[in-house]
Amino acid sequence: MIHNYAAYVFVMAFVTYLIRVIPFVAVTGKIKNRFFRSFLYYVPYTVLTAMTVPAIFFATGSVVSAAAGFVVAMALALMNRGLITVALSASAMVLVVDLAMSCL
């Protein structure tokens, strides 16, 4: 079976292009519906969360250490700490829990 990878890439690029262009062509005026505007405002955050949170729990060798890092990250984020502080603290917690679990 001969695979034509150029055709696959072209179809994939075309479909991606259509998905991005159709809203611009279909919606010509300003969206005035308050509910729909607020819905569109939160879509990027929702999609990012839906992709990130499951990946957090499978990024380490143990779900326990990942959950501990997630809890630390959430706590520091809710205390309005900076991104670097949150990321480094969560990573340190994962390391500490992994080391503690390997010693047991």
pTM over 0.85: no
pLDDT digits (tens, 9 = 90+) for 26-41: 888 888 889 988 998 9
Around Cβ 94, how many Cβ atoms within 10 Å? 24
Domain boundaries, the chain: 5-103
Note the maximum CA span of the chain: 63
pLDDT digits (tens, 9 = 90+) for 53-98: 999 998 888 999 999 999 999 999 999 999 999 999 999 999 999 9
DSSP 52-100: HHHHHHTSSS-HHHHHHHHHHHHHHHHTT--HHHHHHHHHHHHHHHHHH
